[in-house]
Amino acid sequence: MKKIGLIAGAGELPVEFAKSALNKNKQLVIYGIKGITDRKIQSIAPTKWLYLGQAQKLIDTMKEDNISDVVMLGKVEHYHLLTSIHRFDNRARKFFSSLIDRRAKSILEAVLKELEKEGFNPIDPSPYLSSLLAPEGLIAGDNPPQHLMEDALFGLKIAKEVAQLDIGQTVVVKDRIVIAVEGLEGTDKCIIRGGELGGEGTVVCKVARKNQDMRYDVPVIGEKTLKSMKKAKAKLLAVEAGKTFIIGNEELKKMASKFHISIIGINLS
């Protein structure tokens, strides 16, 4: 049986994958990043801990563990990478210096190629997480009024172009005006900034890249997203159906109802 190596970043998505892989009777070893990966993941499957940037140690350890397939899931904030380069090992520093640019897509695609060169097979995790993909239509809350739906359709189109430029996956709009665009700060700070600039009633739009490679950086929403929206007094979260992972679906629905926020999945293909 092939053994899967899960390189786990922050958040619940790696935890959900680990549970699903074990339910499918897969052999799994988890490689957690100290200070980033949720420690509860080690209760699910054997877990080995490394510091961010210990590239050679990660590769050597996975070879010792006879890993065949590799999955990368969970958030590693872009600024963590950029501010930690001085602590990286020689292999990681050489890798970063060889990049044409340091956008998320460029980094992650280069990481996949590096893993393939070492004999590993980076796989698409979505078959293990298909139940978490956002459906089309109303997901939570009440049906949004027409003016918010118009903002959502406008914002999703803008977000798709921004994502393709690899700037971010999220935009905040109001009255068909772009209020905030996600950059290095991440989704939650973008949402809050949108609320500060646009006031109550903003619409948050989150999408995947065009021709999204499902092996990395697939958009995710969860309770933290809704908490940021509550703080920003946003009213609608519009996501790309079939290409956005929803963490804690039932709890999210309860929270959306409590916060008077609607969530809707829209098919953009």
- CATH code assigned at 72: 3.40.50.20
3-state secondary structure at position 182:
coil
Residues 107 and 139 grouped into a single domain: no
pTM of the model: 0.91
Residues 10 and 117 grouped into a single domain: yes
3-state secondary structure at position 115:
helix
Distance CA 129, CA 252 (A): 17
pLDDT per residue as tens digits for the range 184-207: 888 999 999 999 999 999 999 999
pLDDT per residue as tens digits for the range 37-66: 999 999 999 999 999 999 999 999 999 999
Report residues of the chain scoring pLDDT below 50: none
Residue 106, domain extent: 3-128
Residues 58 and 139 grouped into a single domain: no
For position 161, which CATH number holds? 3.40.140.80
Residues 110 and 164 grouped into a single domain: no
* Domain limit, last residue, from 71, 100, 128: 128
Residues 122 and 77 grouped into a single domain: yes
Would you say 30 and 6 are in contact if contact means Cβ atoms under 8 Å apart?
yes
Residues 207 and 250 grouped into a single domain: yes
pLDDT of the residue at 86: 76
pLDDT of the residue at 169: 95
CA atoms within 13 A on the CB side of 10: 10
Residues 162 and 259 grouped into a single domain: yes
pLDDT of the residue at 84: 76
Task: List phi, psi (to 5°) of 187.
Answer: -60, -50
pLDDT of the residue at 40: 95
Residues 156 and 49 grouped into a single domain: no
pLDDT of the residue at 108: 87
pLDDT of the residue at 206: 98
* Domain limit, last residue, from 87, 112, 128: 128
Would you say 21 and 6 are in contact if contact means Cβ atoms under 8 Å apart?
yes
Residues 112 and 224 grouped into a single domain: no
Residues 121 and 143 grouped into a single domain: no
* Domain limit, last residue, from 112, 128, 144: 128
The residue to which tokens 């993941």 are assigned: 41
pLDDT of the residue at 36: 92
Distance CA 245, CA 223 (A): 12
Count of domains in the chain? 2
Residues 138 and 258 grouped into a single domain: yes
